[in-house]
């Protein structure tokens, strides 16, 4: 208890020593000038002393935070729209958007279409899927942080090349215009 009191006394004495020059200046210079002002000028000065820090808080903290929140909400809406459009396109392809003629080699066709659609560099996995009950060839491909528009061109190219999009999962990528894609592609 005595040690706490001693510590408080030391801290208060130290703080008082640091604030003493400022306190003396306020008492000797600023306070007499403030008291010489008319009451209307005093109220104006006090209002400015209150409003200025408030305005700084608003313009330096609150407004930039609101702008960032608005930007993030806009990016989220764009990503949700892109994911919905990709899901719609995937359902359309699964429902029968391609032709019934099967390509000779699914792997080479997917490679060629990926290069043409500029998504080959984003492929992180291309794995053949051997299904005992299926007659055609199947590939599992994964794309990481692929631009959304390039991914749509790739899906359109798959439909035009008579390949079947059996399953497709699209998730938001590391930024607003990028997506993560996992899809199973096969022959019809």
Domain end residue (candidates: 48, 71, 94): 94
Does residue 160 fall inside a structural domain? yes
How many angstroms separate the Cα of 176 from the Cα of each of 14, 19, 25, 74, 150?
53, 51, 55, 9, 14
Q: How far is the C-alpha of 159 from the C-alpha of 93, rounded, in Å?
A: 7
User: Per residue in 146-182, pLDDT tens?
Assistant: 898 888 889 888 888 878 888 889 888 888 888 898 9
Judged by DSSP in three states, 150 sits in helix
Q: Which domain holds residue 116?
A: 106-187
Q: For the whole model, what pTM was predicted? A: 0.48
pLDDT at position 14 over 80: no
User: Per residue in 82-138, pLDDT tens?
Assistant: 888 888 888 877 776 554 444 457 888 888 999 998 999 999 988 888 766 656 788
Radius of gyration from C-alpha coordinates of the chain: 34
Number of structural domains found in the chain: 2
Does residue 8 fall inside a structural domain? no
CATH number for the domain including 153?
A: 3.30.70.60
Cα end-to-end distance, the chain, whole Å: 85
Note whether 51 and 90 are same-domain residues: yes
Note whether 58 and 129 are same-domain residues: no
Q: How far is the C-alpha of 106 from the C-alpha of 173, rounded, in Å?
A: 27
Domain end residue (candidates: 69, 94, 119): 94
User: Per residue in 42-70, pLDDT tens?
Assistant: 899 889 989 999 999 999 999 999 999 99
């Amino acid at each position: 208890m005595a040690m706490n009191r001693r510590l408080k006394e030391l801290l208060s004495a130290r703080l008082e020593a640091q604030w003493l020059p400022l306190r003396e200046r306020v008492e000797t210079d600023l306070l007499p000038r403030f008291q010489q002002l008319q009451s209307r000028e005093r109220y104006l000065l006090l209002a400015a002393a209150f409003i200025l820090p408030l305005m700084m808080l608003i313009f330096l903290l609150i407004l930039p935070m609101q702008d960032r929140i608005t930007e993030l909400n806009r990016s989220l809406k764009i990503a949700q729209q892109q994911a919905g459009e990709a899901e719609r396109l995937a359902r359309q392809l699964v429902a029968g958007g391609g032709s019934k003629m099967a390509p000779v080699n699914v792997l080479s066709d997917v490679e060629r279409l990926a290069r043409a659609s500029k998504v080959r560099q984003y492929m992180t996995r291309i794995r053949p899927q051997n299904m005992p009950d299926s007659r055609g060839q199947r590939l599992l491909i994964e794309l990481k942080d692929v631009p959304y528009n390039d991914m749509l061109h790739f899906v359109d190219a798959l439909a035009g090349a008579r390949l079947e999009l059996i399953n497709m999962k699209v998730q938001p990528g590391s930024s607003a215009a990028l997506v993560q894609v996992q899809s199973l592609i096969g022959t019809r």
